[in-house]
Structure 1
Amino acid sequence: MSCRRIAYRERYDGAILSLALGPIIGDILMYIFTSSMLTFRGQWLPEILRHALPRAIAIPALLLLGSASFISGALVLINYAFIVSRYLSPETPVYVLLILFVAVASFGALQASKTVLYSTELILILNVPLLLFSIVKAYTNPNMNFDEVRAMIDYTWIFPSWKSLAVSTYAVTGYISLSIFNRAFSGVQILKHRWTIPCIGFSILFTAFFAFPIYSP
């Protein structure tokens, strides 16, 4: 189940407030995590754990973190496969799309860290205009019902459930990838413009919650 769908189901249980708290919590965790990783320049998480912890603790910790990362990535690929199958290629079986996504992800995993980072940067640059266009289009669409948006204001100050808060925080946890790509930042003293991540995350969460569920069946 996607983050958007979970947040939409929790809309009467504090999901509105979690949209604001999630990016803030994620920003705090991001600063703590990234600042900690930069103290181990040129090392990735397995090396850090191997040097900092006993073997009896480091190995189970890596297995736990690896399993969580695998499950998280698998959920993303499954959601993408269903989205593409539903809206872009209804004739293609979901499992075929999923196999293609897994093949592309596996190919990327075999590449050097800097190659993946450069590719990600290029994809991000190319997709930012499309993302901005989608956000603007969502709010200017004549089918957008702002009365329903205003009706949700009554639920703004309801304390969020753990589920909605976890979902909104999870949406801005991409910084965890630094645990692998930190070895490519051996000469970096500080990561700039980190403050933009929660701002972008909030705008995407806000738009996905208020606009797209209204259009989606």
Structure 2
Amino acid sequence: MIRFYYYHVVYVGLMNIMMLVPALLISHRFSGGVSAIPLAIAAGTLIAYLTSSCFQRFPGLGLPEIFDRFLPRWLACFLNGIGIVIWATGGIIVLYSYSNTIGLFFNPETSPYINLTIMAIACIWAASRCSRSVQFTNEMLLILSTPMIFWILLKAMLSPWLDWDAIWIVANQVTKPPSAISFYAATFVFSGAMNATLFNRLTKPGYKLRYRWIIPLIGTMFLLVSFFVPIGFHGTQAVGNYLYIWSVTTDCLIMKYGFIQRVLYLFLLLYTLLSLLFVMNTWHTAMEFFKACFRRYPPATDQPRVPAVNWYVCIALAAITFAYAYFTNDLRNRILSEIWLVSRFFIEVILTALLLLFVYMDRRSKQRRRAPPKSSGNPASKATGS
């Protein structure tokens, strides 16, 4: 089951492109965005290490069950409600952003709601499955898409049109004081570790999460590539003129084999799978947090039949997405993405602190159970001895 943990680390790191993290960092490239990256790597790695260590102490338990074990019921439901908002909002932002990107680059004349409808139906069906089915879907979609995505990233880094002088100019801005918003956004690359909040239910007692040194390597690679490669293609000034910066960047690449010459089409096809994967996981997590607020829905990782409540919750999330698409635009979506990225960081810090507290409470309770009972003095024996 260890590999499933790293699947979440990989696809969330790749999804930082759809969460507009590179565009936000690039907008602060001369005002602290570069110096924020190493700080984000350190903070994200620390949070990932702490949370993974804490969840190993509670095998087979998701975060809602851990809340119920150590907190009052009302407080556990309140924290579950925060989880619903954070995870559901992330899926809504990605679903809107990607359906809008598809419309812009493939067929601008088509109504944006057509793409949104098709993707929403797929997400409703996938997110409503049981947790084990969602895990297996993660594996299949990542095996299909990740090799080609890594090939595109490698092709971009080795491209003769990549201007290393522009990259070097921006990299020299590392001496500027770090930007707070850039720091919060850059830590999102490491947020895949937080998906254990729900999928820790699938772990077995005694499991050990090995090879955690992979987390900083993957996160650092995704951050540096997604930030510096667009600068190398578009220059230090023009790179700030684009919102969906990686869609424009991949359109600069050309394939000399196959009937598809523009890499953009292959890139968007692959990120269709990743976007559906991200929304499936976030909506599924939000759905399980919602069900955890009610005693009538005990946690279950395997369900032969999909409960009706799963359909209701996922359809409600899709309806909220359509309402969001109706009232928003690219500018508002970017502002909300920034707010979500900042809020997500503080929620992760709070959850990490709570998990450390729960581990401490669990150790204390086990020590009390193991400690031998204190022997009390026997007056009769004292009198006999005297």
- 1:6 aligns with 24
Which segment is superposed worse, 193-202 or 203-212? 193-202
Max radius of gyration: which structure? 2
- Segments of 5+ residues of structure 2 without an aligned counterpart are 1-18, 235-244, 249-386
How big is the shift at 1:139?
Answer: 1.6
Q: Is 1:54 the counterpart of 2:76 in the alignment?
A: no
Identify if the C-alpha distance between structure 1 residues 27 and 88 changes in structure 2 by more than 3 Å, giving closer, same or farther.
Answer: farther
- The CA deviation string for residues 70-129 of structure 1, in whole angstroms up to 9 with x for no partner, is 111211222222222233444543222222222222222211212211221222223232
Whole-angstrom CA distance in 2 between matches of 1:94 and 1:88: 11
**Counterpart residue type for residue 78 of structure 1:** Y
**Higher-RCO chain (CA-CA 8 Å, sequence separation at least 6):** 1
Contact 1:82-1:94 within 8 A present in 2 as well: yes
Identify if the C-alpha distance between structure 1 residues 66 and 140 changes in structure 2 by more than 3 Å, giving closer, same or farther.
Answer: same
- 2:50 aligns with 32
**Counterpart residue type for residue 149 of structure 1:** I
Q: Is 1:81 the counterpart of 2:99 in the alignment?
A: yes
- 2:37 aligns with 19
**Counterpart residue type for residue 163 of structure 1:** I
**Counterpart residue type for residue 121 of structure 1:** E
2:164 is aligned, of 146, 151, 155, to 146
Using the aligned pairs only, state the percent identity. Answer: 26
Whole-angstrom CA distance in 1 between matches of 2:136 and 2:195: 14
Contact 1:27-1:195 within 8 A present in 2 as well: no
Equivalences, count: 217
- 2:191 aligns with 173
Alignment of 1:134-213 (within 5 A): 134-187=152-205, 189-212=207-230
What value does the CA root-mean-square deviation take over the aligned residues? 2.0
Identify if the C-alpha distance between structure 1 residues 137 and 88 changes in structure 2 by more than 3 Å, giving closer, same or farther.
Answer: farther
Whole-angstrom CA distance in 2 between matches of 1:104 and 1:45: 27
Give TM-score scaled by structure 2 length. 0.53
Identify if the C-alpha distance between structure 1 residues 148 and 23 changes in structure 2 by more than 3 Å, giving closer, same or farther.
Answer: same
- 1:72 aligns with 90
- Segments of 5+ residues of structure 1 without an aligned counterpart are none
Whole-angstrom CA distance in 1 between matches of 2:26 and 2:95: 21
Contact 1:78-1:98 within 8 A present in 2 as well: yes
Q: Secondary structure at the match of 2:190?
A: coil
- 1:42 aligns with 60
2:112 is aligned, of 90, 94, 97, to 94
How big is the shift at 1:197?
Answer: 2.4
Whole-angstrom CA distance in 2 between matches of 1:172 and 1:94: 31
Whole-angstrom CA distance in 2 between matches of 1:207 and 1:89: 28
**Counterpart residue type for residue 205 of structure 1:** L
Q: Secondary structure at the match of 1:211?
A: helix
Contact 2:22-2:226 within 8 A present in 1 as well: yes
How big is the shift at 1:165?
Answer: 0.4
Q: Secondary structure at the match of 1:144?
A: coil
Q: Secondary structure at the match of 2:162?
A: coil
Give TM-score scaled by structure 1 length. 0.90
- 1:107 aligns with 125
Which segment is superposed worse, 50-59 or 102-111? 102-111
Whole-angstrom CA distance in 1 between matches of 2:129 and 2:112: 26
**Counterpart residue type for residue 60 of structure 1:** F
How big is the shift at 1:147?
Answer: 1.4
Moved over 6 A (4+): none
Contact 1:81-1:101 within 8 A present in 2 as well: yes
Q: Secondary structure at the match of 1:105?
A: helix
How big is the shift at 1:192?
Answer: 2.3
